[in-house]
Amino acid sequence: MAPEHQPPPLLTMEGITKSFPGVRALDGVDLEVAPGEVHCLLGQNGAGKSTLIKVLAGAHQPDAGRITWNGEPVRLRTPSAAVRLGIATIYQELDLVEGLTVAENIHLGHEPATAGFVKGRAARTATTALLTRLGHPEIDPARHVRELSAAGRQIVSMARALSHDVRLIVMDEPSAALDPDEVANLFRIVADLTAAGVAVVYISHRLEEIRRIGDRVTVLKDGRAVARGLPATTSTRDVVALMTGRDLPYVFPDRPAHPPTTPPVLQVQGLTRQGEFEDIDLEIRPGEIVGLAGLVGSGRSEVLETVYGARRPTAGRVLVDGRPLRPGSVPAAVRAGLGLAPEERKAQGLLLLESVTSNVSVSTLARFSRAGWLDRTAERQAARAATRTLSLRPDRPEAPVRTLSGGNQQKAVLARWLLRGCRVLLLDEPTRGVDVGARAELYAVIRRLADEGLAVLLVSSEVPEVLGLADRVLVLREGRVVHTAPARDLDEHRVLDLVMEGSPTA
């Protein structure tokens, strides 16, 4: 058979090099993307993916290398220059303006105008058309972005990218905040774009997505392309070996052979928050991991935040060691031994400009206070001991926490609660934005903490993660528990059937 005709590349990046003080982020990286192709860019956090796409987006200037667009050499000196060529980027850390409306965000910088006057009605009409194209006509163009869910913000960011005459779109972890239905809609959008000849550079830590929608794969490690143009059907084991430099099976730690029989440390009885969830009952024993599975909007995160006291219930109660907690009080929950690692780690869980030490010790400062003065030496020693227990890297307590990878930022949050002496750990999307190698480490850490007597309540959008980590699983649908079972008695298909069609159990 004659070889299939390959169209000439739309984008070619050759020998791209970029250094920052003390770090070579990119070291001679090559990337080639064809029209209508989904080219997947893989690598652990710190491998250079973000730097490469920022060079492509005109946000960083390379120190060396060449970029060719549609056969012509180009210099992408600014993000505006990239947009004019037809390159749009959706970053993992969405750069939306929360105080502006959906329509204002989508058309920011290129508002419809006549004689210098912005045409608000035209912007809203165009916004509605874009949102309808993306399968979300229910999003109000006049609504402020700060009022949207994480998934809604992701859709707005996509609409903003598509508001330009785009020929190549970069998607950085676009499915991280989406439920299965929304992921299916995302894949439909990608298929529509590529059918129209638009190229897509797709970044995801979810390797199963790569096989579903990818054409070719480039793998980065330590700023270098260790594999270019692999077929997207390359096995997970081979891809992980390229990403990590070692053969790392993607497995979960073993569960205990027998469930714990000690009295429950946490009990939730009839917990209700009107309009969000209703009549939630659960209990967790020391050494046990209980998972909450359900779609975005099923009430999973809201249950966690209400147990923690960040939301006030309209009915029901939370007990620790048989004693009721004061409802709607985070200080009361923390004093009782509860700790929360929130869904939005950077926005809700970390002081990004502060050091690792400050982030770890923030809930325990009274321990290091002497006559109104903070004993910095004792604080650093205690924080360092906690981070070393979790193998946080790099082992530099003075480093700003924002410089850490996603997996190590999550370890900093966990170290905070270990230092506090937490007895019940509430984990909301613990591996969001964490690469495959770091995920395996986090899974081992969470299981080890449970084995040492911690009680864990886990929420994750990834059903395999819930089933792989949890001992027992509660399945939520529309704010109600529709099924409870040992994790070993469930599989992914059964859980998805329940969250889509299930009815409450007796």
pLDDT for 95 equals: 75
Average pLDDT over residues 42-58: 89
- Could you tell me if 407 and 434 are in contact, meaning their C-beta atoms sit under 8 angstroms apart? yes
Q: pLDDT tens-digit profile of 277-325?
A: 999 999 999 999 999 998 777 899 999 999 999 999 999 999 999 999 9
Position 151 scores a pLDDT of 78
Contact 239, 42 (CB under 8 A): yes
pLDDT value at position 247?
Answer: 63
Domains and CATH numbers, the chain: 11-244 (3.40.50.300), 251-337+423-429+456-506 (3.40.50.300), 343-422 (no CATH)
- Exposure pattern of 206-218 as b/e (b: 16+ CB <10 Å)? ebebbbebbbbbb
Tokens found for residue 101:
């409306």
Residue 191 phi/psi, 5° resolution? -65, -40
Per-residue pLDDT at 344: 83
Please state, in angstroms and rounded to a whole number, the distance separating the CA atoms of residues 81 and 460.
39
| pLDDT tens column, 401-437 | 988 888 889 999 999 999 999 999 999 999 887 777 7
Burial class (CB in 10 A: 0-12, 13-18, 19+), 36: middle
Q: How many CB atoms lie within 10 A of CB 127?
A: 25
Task: Tell me the three-class secondary structure of 301-368, residue by residue.
Answer: HHHHHHHCCCCCCCEEEEEECCEECCCCCHHHHHHCCEEEECCCHHHHHCCCCCEHHHHHHCCCHHHH
pLDDT of residue 391 exceeding 70: yes
Residues 32 and 394: their CA atoms lie apart, in Å, by 33
Cα–Cα distance between 457 and 443 in angstroms, integer?
14
The pLDDT of residue 502: 55
Q: What is the reported pTM?
A: 0.65
Residues 51-62 have a mean pLDDT of 95
Mean pLDDT computed over 99-109 = 87
- In angstroms, the CA 215 to CA 193 distance is 14
Q: What is the mean pLDDT of residues 390-397?
A: 86
